[in-house]
Structure 1
């Protein structure tokens, strides 16, 4: 398990299980494993695979691109789901919730 405490500058990427209890001045990317985010992120959180339980604070957006995201803390931006499972606890403080559907290549839409 990767444990991050203290202050980090730049993008932090998780490929395995991890615990973030410090502060990241940048984005956090979860590509695999399980991340318990209890600290502060002054950028965005991107879940591209694996899962993330967010009990800390995110100043930007929390984006679920293709994983599992659970929000129990605060997201100043939006919680955006592109693919995967997203849960926002009723007690969580979020700036908005959005479901961004991805259009498949070559797909056409017909006006009604």
Structure 2
């Protein structure tokens, strides 16, 4: 789950992440946005229609300390839980930026972009 934007350039990295995860996990992976479609409720509805009984939500954001991670995503997940009480919806604490591998990948990408400048 990410913030979202109508700009296709903004969405591209998240759609690439989705494609990579689907390559490893199959169709059991979805992408939801806080501010744009599809919402978490849209994604949970699609998984429920496919017969899934459990959904795990990961905040695809860098900072675990922002309002989206602390308030907005939990509120959206709570709304989805209320709408789909038969589905176990698990919200993973924090954000992807909590992961040391993400920070290392960002540092490597930054260094690559700085080379030759």
TM-score for both structures, normalised by structure 2: 0.31
* Structure possessing the higher radius of gyration over alpha carbons: 2
- Structure having the higher helix fraction is 2
- Structure having the higher strand fraction is 1
If asked which structure has higher relative contact order (CA below 8 Å, sep 6+), I would say 2
